[in-house]
Structure 1
């Protein structure tokens, strides 16, 4: 579809005259191209000097009129955007006054509808900005294509980024809207949720969100959870906060590979600070310890505070335990706090010294958090503008050599020493009592089609694998996703790709290693790649993408799959709303499949044992029939009856084992929760076995009684 028709199909009808006049600009470009062709040499004549008193003449070229028209269109978009934001703020202020006056709560439903309407209009304005921004990109690209002798794209896009309607930050609008929803819900009152109570099941899931959907996702969430405000002072505070995290590792990337493989007790050490201050007055030393969730264990994250001036001495060991105890004793509330602080201080410093850890990768992003202050049942965070930075420059001293714990901001940052992640990252944390499902609005958000689940996504792992490709021996499974490929290419150094260490080292047991046949070969260059390549990217993807379907069974066909879904899901909640299928990379642990297979083989072992006993009894009954004597007919019938009871039981066990194996395998592949929970199947099978054994016992007693009577 041509962009002009694309723009017309998506523009708001009542705003039709406010969009960039793409067709008129395109016609001016064609006129300019025709004019340059008429000159013969392809370059329009323009004097190299000008005069304040000599007129240039009334006639202007089409290219001049193009730039004049383009600048007028950009100014038009800017004026409309600013006025649209001002109108939305006035409506929001009026709604706030109405909410405060609604003390009896009679107009709550109407106020909620008005709040949603204001939010929807703000999202429509954002869509308007995005469409015009894309339109300007397209038109200057077409200009350079038809007029290659006078390229303007690079300059004009830089000029465009300085426009208020592109550069402006209106996130405080969402904060005010969130406050209105909080007042209408009554979030300011309530009892604290005892999150550490027993019986709670904690789950954390991570999703990718496209930049186009980020504001829409925020709007959906703040209707149910308030925006966490980092600074309660000031009315026009933004909805997000800048977070920097410097991750420590050694030259063998021991911590990276441990986290990638999900080894038990794998560590991640990072130095984190909040806000724009650089360096910050104080920062947090955080430690994350991985634990196996399938064992019923939970990963642990703990941290302690250090002043910025103490960070380098802490990493080098000059700031020792006794000095730290003296400093913390004056600030701690109790001796228990001192002991806890010193225990972690000692453990982290020993890990830094023994593993020779130093700053390697920094992650930087803006975080918007959503949570009811007194309730930790549902906590959501959205990280945008995610950037990973290499802490040790290639053409300069490392942090260790320079006596720093983060990169010197005065040292230039080449493009191949940072990578900009193209998506926002949404993290959903649920703390629910066992057996309780997530709230309906959370389920609707997850099924909205705006989220793409990426199991165990890690900013640290992604940044390390992209920025240090020569040092990694394995890469995460999501590296091959097509949506992030361009960002990886842009982070590569100019020239041919170096030989990746992944093709030399042994691959990780639980992660996707680089394709040995293509990791070290230069990738075919395209016009989009220019002269950039990256050793993580080969000609063939190493990851198979799983096509996700909605749980209503669409696209699944008939047969085993639909029948099993009916059986196992008939006792569960109704299916989620239908959404468009998404192609999502999924990491499946091999041990999960093997566990399902071991369970299947255990059932088969029991079924074969029961069947073998039944077959042996039938063989015994056949042998006994040949030499039977008068009065032994009852014994022969008993053996045959027992065998005929046990054989169907063995067949039933085999059928059940196969059915459950297939169902669980499908659920594991689709990343569906609850695939281990079949509460009625084992109980039903146990009941059948009990009935069969009881019948055998009764028949044996009857046969024994008849045999005694016949002998007497």
Structure 2
């Protein structure tokens, strides 16, 4: 829908008079361009028109900015009042005198309603800010396009002077989370180690990753905090923005061996990174190693790490500092057990060996601000949301000195958005990354609210997304030709319509106040998008039966998921579509052009007749195909949520690039290929025995029996050659993890036809009397 309509349908009624008057600004622009009516030719835009329009625009900006500032101050005051009320109730609960009644359930319910109302106000203000900022961008773009005058850079400075859109709601969220957790647990919050990184060394979790559009970030945080508190490492310290900053330096060599291993999900593939929390002044650096393990090994992929002082990082990575020297102080202090220290030393020794032997160097830095939601000391459900994600180059390969001889570059810190860097050195990721990490027992389902969250319109599932892989493939386009499967989808808008009632609700209110709506797709309001990017709008994830699957398409030809749920994920879809070729991935070239027949005015009837005949022939072939016995896919009813138009999209890689689709290859797959080869081998042996027997019966005759024997012999040899060739090809494809179509439909058909011919010739020989029971040719005996 057009933005004006989206604004009218999405605005919050209580804030109605404080929104940007988008329609009035459009009318102002139109009336000055067409003073004599809409149908008249536009007049030249003068300086007087520009001043008048800017004056109206600034009045709107001042109105929005003032309201946002007043409303924000009101929320701050309400939080302070609620904080005092909560503290009074908790104090009464902890220090009541004998005989004094404790706070009632009604008191806690009233506090919870007040906090829920404040949470809804924060949500509404965030939506108000986002919608108004979009409105200003739209009207400025319309002005520049229609008048020929450039207002965007000038008005951007005025927007920066009244930055209503830059308000950080994280401070509100942290305070509301603590208060809501106190009220929700009735004054008994979960106690435990809030440190997510300091004391934990090994992490084994089931992790699923999602993309979140910036419009939905604040709403998502507010929804989660009602179920899980924000994880605060130091509750005695006032929250600051740098407390949520996380930076990592990823290492690789000039051949990108680690990148390729992680992309292909090779068994034992490693990723080495150095991470720190907060600003550049932090002296504790964590050296981390991620190791990928295949499921069939019975092991889980593990992230292990150890701490290192910043001053010792360069010496350790160059091999000038031994592992014993790193942990010498730790052994003397005795705060950890001998077994723990030995394990850390072994990890450090392996990391140092990998860095030196593979000649690893700093390649890319990832920076983001993380909001983690988790019960302290309870890691069964952990949700983290990474915002303002940036990937930055750290190498010196193109002649530019970035990190130099140091383990990281020092010309940047955590000053997002890093405007001092050239565009070639940085990639600003357009979405936030939501990670849902579960540690549930076998057969145990995740909490219901988590299932609703990951199936809502607020998130887009992207399984196996990796910051390291994405950073390398975007920062080094000239060095990397093999891309992850999500690369072609970066230009697709992931916003989706609301699928079910899910969002922030005020107390005693049945309808959700979520103002999420379909993204604007007006031709006047957005840039033109290529055809192949708009063939299919994003499909809601609520249709997914499994949160780890990402819905790609409902094939129009009835193809269904092998599991019978009608949905094929990315890997299965590509495997089903592609033929035998190297990395069947996605083609780099444009899609095949469809031959458009231009109707000649002199032959309309001939073309119509031709189309009719073609249609009749196609229908006849379609119905005759049902007479052929073959396995058919089960027809699965499309859920009512997706009923209607069926969309399909085929992503294209940039020219010269290939998209890698991960393929799982387990030992049983090799055994299956070997069993198939042995079955064909057995088939060939039986045919050769039949051919030998017929040849003995034929004797010296030259009739049909001899030709039947020859036919069975040819079929047996063809079976051997076909089975051996197919087995070798399949093994090679599995070793290289090619997502090819392993199903072979032509070979068995041809061999069966040869067998039918041989049997037919043998039958003809029997009819001619060349085969007589109880006799072996001329020398046979009864």
TM-score by length of 2: 0.59
Residue 64 (structure 2) pairs with residue 77 (structure 1): yes
Greater displacement, 469-478 / 539-548: 539-548
Cα drift, residue 540 of structure 1: 9.2
Tell me what 1:317 maps to. 319
Q: How does 1:653-664 map to 2 (within 5 A)?
A: none
Equivalent of 2:428 in 403, 409, 420: 420
Cα drift, residue 457 of structure 1: 0.5
Higher RCO by CA contacts (8 Å cutoff, separation 6 or greater): 2
Cα drift, residue 79 of structure 1: 1.1
Q: How does 1:202-213 map to 2 (within 5 A)?
A: 202-213=205-216
Q: Is the 8 A contact 2:369 2:387 kept in 1?
A: yes
Distance 1:69 1:541 in 2: 36
Distance 1:314 1:210 in 2: 40
Distance 2:397 2:493 in 1: 23
Do the aligned partners of residues 210 and 341 (structure 1) sit closer, same or farther apart at CA in structure 2, a change above 3 Å counting?
Answer: same
Residue 231 (structure 2) pairs with residue 228 (structure 1): yes
Cα drift, residue 601 of structure 1: 12
Distance 2:330 2:223 in 1: 43
Distance 2:117 2:175 in 1: 14
Tell me what 2:54 maps to. 67
Q: Is the 8 A contact 1:360 1:391 kept in 2?
A: yes
Tell me what 1:439 maps to. 447
Residue 122 (structure 2) pairs with residue 129 (structure 1): no
Tell me what 1:142 maps to. 142
Distance 1:538 1:416 in 2: 28
Residue 372 (structure 2) pairs with residue 369 (structure 1): yes
3-state DSSP class of the match of 1:437?
coil
Tell me what 2:469 maps to. 461
3-state DSSP class of the match of 2:233?
coil
Distance 2:670 2:159 in 1: 58
Tell me what 1:479 maps to. 487
Equivalent of 1:295 in 294, 297, 306: 297
Tell me what 1:515 maps to. none
Equivalent of 2:359 in 327, 343, 356: 356
Cα drift, residue 393 of structure 1: 5.7
Q: Is the 8 A contact 2:293 2:299 kept in 1?
A: yes
Greater displacement, 163-172 / 94-103: 94-103
Q: Is the 8 A contact 1:387 1:418 kept in 2?
A: yes
Residue 405 (structure 2) pairs with residue 405 (structure 1): no
Cα drift, residue 43 of structure 1: 7.1
3-state DSSP class of the match of 1:265?
coil
Residue 76 (structure 2) pairs with residue 89 (structure 1): yes
Do the aligned partners of residues 597 and 309 (structure 1) sit closer, same or farther apart at CA in structure 2, a change above 3 Å counting?
Answer: closer
Tell me what 2:762 maps to. none
Cα drift, residue 210 of structure 1: 1.0
Q: Is the 8 A contact 1:381 1:428 kept in 2?
A: yes
Residue 162 (structure 2) pairs with residue 160 (structure 1): no
Cα drift, residue 298 of structure 1: 0.8
Tell me what 1:12 maps to. 12
Q: In structure 1, list runs of 5 or more residues that go unmatched.
A: 46-60, 487-526, 531-536, 568-576, 610-668, 670-712
Greater displacement, 150-159 / 450-459: 150-159
Distance 1:245 1:386 in 2: 11
Q: Is the 8 A contact 1:399 1:406 kept in 2?
A: yes
Distance 1:258 1:392 in 2: 20
Cα drift, residue 451 of structure 1: 1.6
Do the aligned partners of residues 160 and 332 (structure 1) sit closer, same or farther apart at CA in structure 2, a change above 3 Å counting?
Answer: farther
Greater displacement, 454-463 / 235-244: 235-244
Cα drift, residue 250 of structure 1: 0.2
Distance 1:415 1:286 in 2: 28
3-state DSSP class of the match of 2:61?
helix
Distance 1:558 1:529 in 2: 30
Tell me what 1:261 maps to. 264
Q: Is the 8 A contact 1:279 1:308 kept in 2?
A: no
3-state DSSP class of the match of 1:433?
coil
Distance 2:134 2:230 in 1: 30
Tell me what 1:429 maps to. 437
Question: What whole-Å deviation, never above 9, does each CA across 1:212-233 have from its counterpart, x for those lacking one?
Answer: 1111111111111100113323
Cα drift, residue 11 of structure 1: 1.3
Question: What whole-Å deviation, never above 9, does each CA across 1:644-700 have from its counterpart, x for those lacking one?
Answer: xxxxxxxxxxxxxxxxxxxxxxxxx9xxxxxxxxxxxxxxxxxxxxxxxxxxxxxxx
3-state DSSP class of the match of 1:233?
coil
Distance 2:351 2:441 in 1: 34
Distance 1:221 1:431 in 2: 18
Do the aligned partners of residues 30 and 396 (structure 1) sit closer, same or farther apart at CA in structure 2, a change above 3 Å counting?
Answer: farther
Tell me what 1:695 maps to. none
Question: What whole-Å deviation, never above 9, does each CA across 1:612-671 have from its counterpart, x for those lacking one?
Answer: xxxxxxxxxxxxxxxxxxxxxxxxxxxxxxxxxxxxxxxxxxxxxxxxxxxxxxxxx9xx
Tell me what 2:219 maps to. 216
Residue 528 (structure 2) pairs with residue 550 (structure 1): no
Q: Is the 8 A contact 2:33 2:43 kept in 1?
A: no
Q: Is the 8 A contact 2:425 2:475 kept in 1?
A: yes
Tell me what 2:515 maps to. none
Cα drift, residue 424 of structure 1: 0.7
Question: What whole-Å deviation, never above 9, does each CA across 1:31-62 have from its counterpart, x for those lacking one?
Answer: 554699x99995747xxxxxxxxxxxxxxx23
Tell me what 2:288 maps to. 286
3-state DSSP class of the match of 1:127?
helix
Question: What whole-Å deviation, never above 9, does each CA across 1:559-578 have from its counterpart, x for those lacking one?
Answer: 997998699xxxxxxxxx98
Tell me what 2:189 maps to. 188
C-alpha RMSD of the superposition: 4.6
Cα drift, residue 389 of structure 1: 0.6
Distance 1:593 1:318 in 2: 41
Distance 2:484 2:248 in 1: 20
Q: Is the 8 A contact 1:229 1:239 kept in 2?
A: no
Q: How does 1:93-108 map to 2 (within 5 A)?
A: 93-102=80-89, 103=93, 104-107=103-106, 108=108
Question: What whole-Å deviation, never above 9, does each CA across 1:55-114 have from its counterpart, x for those lacking one?
Answer: xxxxxx232121122122111111111111222233333333333444434123443333
Cα drift, residue 242 of structure 1: 0.6
Cα drift, residue 317 of structure 1: 2.1
Greater displacement, 288-297 / 448-457: 288-297
Distance 1:192 1:279 in 2: 24
3-state DSSP class of the match of 2:105?
coil
Distance 2:245 2:395 in 1: 21
Do the aligned partners of residues 160 and 559 (structure 1) sit closer, same or farther apart at CA in structure 2, a change above 3 Å counting?
Answer: closer
Greater displacement, 13-22 / 86-95: 86-95
Do the aligned partners of residues 588 and 26 (structure 1) sit closer, same or farther apart at CA in structure 2, a change above 3 Å counting?
Answer: same
Greater displacement, 394-403 / 384-393: 394-403
Q: Is the 8 A contact 2:144 2:151 kept in 1?
A: yes
Distance 2:128 2:167 in 1: 14
Do the aligned partners of residues 191 and 281 (structure 1) sit closer, same or farther apart at CA in structure 2, a change above 3 Å counting?
Answer: closer
